[in-house]
Amino acid sequence: MTIVTTTKGEMDDSLLERKEGVVDNEDEYTTWVEYWLDGELVHRSAHVTLKKPLTYTVAEAAPIA
């Protein structure tokens, strides 16, 4: 029995449908877990690992006025 914090409060994971996903490319490795209740997404957690540093130009970093 595992308790999951959801938009409906804390629930036993046996009452929920669990879905997992992964993105793995040259820039990132991302995993996520979703819990669904009767077709409604009630919890999502994700973990992102960057494989290389982010780069940007001064124009991209400038504030929008």
Q: Give the number of other Cβ atoms within 10 Å of residue 33's Cβ.
A: 14
Side chain identity at residue 42, one-letter code: V
The residues that bridge with 19 in the sheet, in sequence order, are 34
Q: pLDDT tens, 5-63?
A: 999 999 999 999 999 999 999 999 999 999 999 999 999 999 999 998 877 666 666 66
**Predicted pLDDT of residue 62:** 61
Query: CB–CB of 62/49 below 8 Å?
Result: no
Closest CA to 35 of 13, 57, 9, 63: 13
> How much is the pTM?
0.75
- Return the sign of the alpha-carbon dihedral for residues 2, 33, 52, 26: positive
